[in-house]
């Protein structure tokens, strides 16, 4: 399993990279800058105590990875896809983790974009035949990056390509104490984005950082 | 604590009534038809093994209750409020549990209503000063009505009136194994409605009936 990160220097990327690498997956952090990618990988490897994660330019990362986590800020996702559009093939699966959320006076707010989820907007910019799957939107970076913390939650996986969705479910299942759930078609991505805003609101009200979801009864 | 149900013959109403009555709350099932209300209360009391729940006309129920659960099908909620608008006072708190959801070929679908939640639509029909709180939307009726089942989940409580929201949180806390969480303003109701549709989709995919939410990390 070869997992790459398009935008591998942010907290969500580093958190997922740490969790996957610790579970034995091949992980590559990509960045427009090779130096930034290498530095991000190096600091992750220090936490892991072993050289498990590699840093590469986005171009090299895309050539070496099948599952590509799109881990840039939500407003930069379309540009990130457009900048490497010609390098994307049918063998890639793009996994969108972005959430269109801003903070105003301490309150988390969902950013309306003509009734569409950020996932749907990104999907519209992918070449034909490159599937988009959405996952990890509801998993807080603050928890992912702290390897002492048990995740103990569910990850909702949505996408219109059944094969791609199942591959991401399989990849997510490699991370300990994280249960992947099949959330159905991509149109459900909006629900996940709104759930993340609600979790941020709960964090604020209850003075926590790691509110996340578990489904009871399944 | 006097809890009334506007539309007290459906499964969600009966489930909540059973749970609250078993916890010692005063519960009144209301209906346009006194006979229907009495029959619904009677069948609940048979399950409880004691005459704890009363059935009344909606008019009598409203006169005797402070917290009013609006437990009609989503599309009948506005009519239900309009039909008793003159009986509503500042001492009432309306608790909306409705979810604008339909099933098409087995799939749960959210019903778009100009970008508004059903809760916000209902709020627009209440007399000035009668607060609306939304809660229990994500709790499946099939689990509520089966007293052998531990709920073991969270109930998200949203509304713009802080006092009313806190009263509903307090009332919900009386139900064992149910944790109320303060979900903030009424605009978050849309998230709860979409979460219920997602839970219905998960039920379908995993062949379950009781998918519900618990927040980890709070």
Mean pLDDT for B195-202 is 98
Interface test with B, best of A198, A199, A212 (most B CBs within 10 A): A198
Q: Is residue A211 part of a domain?
A: no
Residue whose entry in the numeric block shows the structure tokens 């989709």: B201
| DSSP reduced 3-state for B3 | strand
Question: A188–B201: do the CB atoms touch at under 8 Å?
Answer: yes
Question: A191–B194: do the CB atoms touch at under 8 Å?
Answer: yes
pLDDT tens for residues A8-65?
Answer: 899 999 999 999 999 999 999 999 999 999 999 999 999 999 999 999 999 999 999 9
Q: Give every strand in the sheet of B2-6, ordered side by side.
A: B53-57, B26-31, B2-6, B67-70, B93-96, B132-134, B153-159, B178-184
- pLDDT number for residue B108: 93
Residue B181: which of A153, A156, A202 has the nearest Cβ? Answer: A202
Interface test with A, best of B152, B196, B214, B216 (most A CBs within 10 A): B216
- Tell me the residues of A at the B interface, defined by beta carbons under 8 Å apart: 115, 140, 143, 152-153, 156, 181-184, 188, 190-192, 194-195, 197-199, 201-203, 205-206, 208-218
Residues of A in contact with B115 (CB under 8 A): 115
- Count how many Cα atoms sit within 13 Å of the Cα of residue B154 in the half-sphere of its side chain: 21
Cβ distance B202 to A215 under 8 Å? yes
Mean pLDDT for A71-84 is 97
The alpha-carbon gap from A34 to the nearest alpha carbon of chain B, in Å, equals: 36
Mean pLDDT for A104-121 is 94
Cβ distance A17 to A29 under 8 Å? yes
First to last CA, chain A: 27
Cβ burial, residue A104 (10 Å; 0-12/13-18/19+): exposed
Phi and psi, residue A16, nearest 5°: -65, -40
Find the domain containing A33 and state its range.
2-206
Please name the residue of chain B whose CA is at the shortest distance from the CA of residue A196: B191
Q: Is residue A154 part of a domain?
A: yes
- pLDDT number for residue A106: 84
Residues of B in contact with A217 (CB under 8 A): 140, 143, 153, 208-212
Q: Give residue B106's pLDDT band: very low, low, confident or very high (50, 70, 90).
A: confident
Cβ distance A29 to A56 under 8 Å? yes
Number of inter-chain CB pairs under 8 A, A vs B = 102
Q: Is residue B215 part of a domain?
A: no
Q: Is residue B213 part of a domain?
A: no
Residues 6+ apart with CB under 8 A from B154: B178, B179, B180, B181, B213, B214, B215
Please name the residue of chain B whose CA is at the shortest distance from the CA of residue A188: B198
Question: A140–B183: do the CB atoms touch at under 8 Å?
Answer: no
Answer whether residue A68 shows pLDDT above 90.
Answer: yes
Whole-number Cα distances in Å, B127 to A35, B77, B185, B215: 62, 15, 19, 34
pLDDT tens for residues A126-171?
Answer: 999 999 999 999 999 999 999 999 999 999 999 999 999 999 999 9
- pLDDT number for residue A146: 96
Cβ distance A183 to A192 under 8 Å? yes
CA distance linking residue B194 with residue B100, whole number of Å = 9
Question: B188–A198: do the CB atoms touch at under 8 Å?
Answer: yes
The alpha-carbon gap from A195 to the nearest alpha carbon of chain B, in Å, equals: 6
DSSP B64: H
The alpha-carbon gap from A218 to the nearest alpha carbon of chain B, in Å, equals: 6
User: DSSP string of chain A?
Assistant: -EEEEES-SSHHHHHHHHHHHHTT-EEEEEESSHHHHHHHHHHHHHHHTS--EEEEEHHHHHHH-SEEEE-S-GGGHHHHHHHTGGG--TT-EEEE----EEEETTEEEE--STT--HHHHHHTTSPTT--EEE-STTS-HHHHT-TTS---EEEEEEES-HHHHHHHHHHHTTSTTEEEEE--SGGGHHHHHHHHHHHHHHHHHHT-S--EEEEE--
pLDDT tens for residues A178-218?
Answer: 999 999 999 999 999 999 999 999 999 999 999 999 999 99
Whole-number Cα distances in Å, B163 to A123, B13, B167: 43, 23, 6
Answer whether residue B208 shows pLDDT above 90.
Answer: yes
Mean pLDDT for A95-117 is 95
Query: Could you tell me which of B59, B58, B69 has the C-alpha nearest to residue B21?
Result: B69
CA distance linking residue A57 with residue A32, whole number of Å = 6
- B25: domain CATH number is 3.40.50.720
**Proportion of chain A above pLDDT 70, given as a percent:** 100
Question: A211–B217: do the CB atoms touch at under 8 Å?
Answer: yes
- Tell me the residues of B at the A interface, defined by beta carbons under 8 Å apart: 115, 140, 143, 152-153, 156, 181-184, 188, 190-192, 194-195, 197-199, 201-203, 205-206, 208-218
**Proportion of chain A above pLDDT 90, given as a percent:** 97
Question: A208–B217: do the CB atoms touch at under 8 Å?
Answer: yes
CA distance linking residue A52 with residue A23, whole number of Å = 10
Residues of B in contact with A135 (CB under 8 A): none
Beta-bridged to residue A68, according to DSSP, are A4, A94
The alpha-carbon gap from B183 to the nearest alpha carbon of chain A, in Å, equals: 6
CA dihedral sign, ordered A27, A31, A37, A43: negative
The alpha-carbon gap from A115 to the nearest alpha carbon of chain B, in Å, equals: 8
Question: A199–B182: do the CB atoms touch at under 8 Å?
Answer: no
Residue B140 tokens read as 């499946």
Instruction: Please state the domain count of chain B.
Output: 1
Phi and psi, residue B25, nearest 5°: -80, 155
Residue B46 tokens read as 């048979």
CA distance linking residue B7 with residue B137, whole number of Å = 15
Answer whether residue B83 shows pLDDT above 90.
Answer: yes
Model ipTM value: 0.96
Beta-bridged to residue A24, according to DSSP, are none
CA distance linking residue A172 with residue A24, whole number of Å = 12
CA dihedral sign, ordered A179, A181, A186, A192: negative
Please name the residue of chain B whose CA is at the shortest distance from the CA of residue A217: B211
Give chain B's mean pLDDT.
Answer: 97
């Amino acid at each position: 399993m070869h997992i790459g990160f398009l935008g591998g220097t942010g907290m969500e990327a580093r958190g997922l990279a740490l969790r996957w690498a610790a579970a034995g997956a091949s992980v590559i952090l990509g960045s427009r800058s090779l130096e930034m990618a290498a530095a991000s990988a190096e600091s992750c490897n220090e936490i892991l105590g072993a050289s498990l994660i590699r840093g590469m330019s986005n171009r090299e990362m895309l050539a070496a990875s099948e599952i590509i986590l799109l881990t840039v800020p939500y407003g930069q996702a379309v540009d990130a896809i457009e900048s490497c559009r010609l390098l994307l093939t049918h063998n890639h699966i793009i996994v969108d983790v972005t959430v269109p959320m801003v903070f105003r006076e301490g309150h988390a707010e969902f950013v309306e974009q003509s009734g569409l989820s950020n996932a749907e907007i990104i999907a519209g910019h992918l070449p034909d035949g490159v599937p988009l799957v959405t996952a990890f939107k509801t998993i807080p970076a603050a928890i992912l990056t702290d390897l002492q913390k048990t995740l103990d939650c569910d990850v909702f996986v949505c996408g219109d390509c059944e094969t791609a969705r199942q591959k991401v479910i399989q990849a997510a299942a490699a991370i300990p104490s994280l249960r992947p759930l099949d959330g159905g078609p991509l149109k459900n991505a909006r629900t996940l984005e709104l759930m993340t805003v609600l979790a941020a609101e709960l964090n604020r009200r209850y003075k926590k950082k790691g509110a996340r979801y578990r489904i009871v009864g399944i």
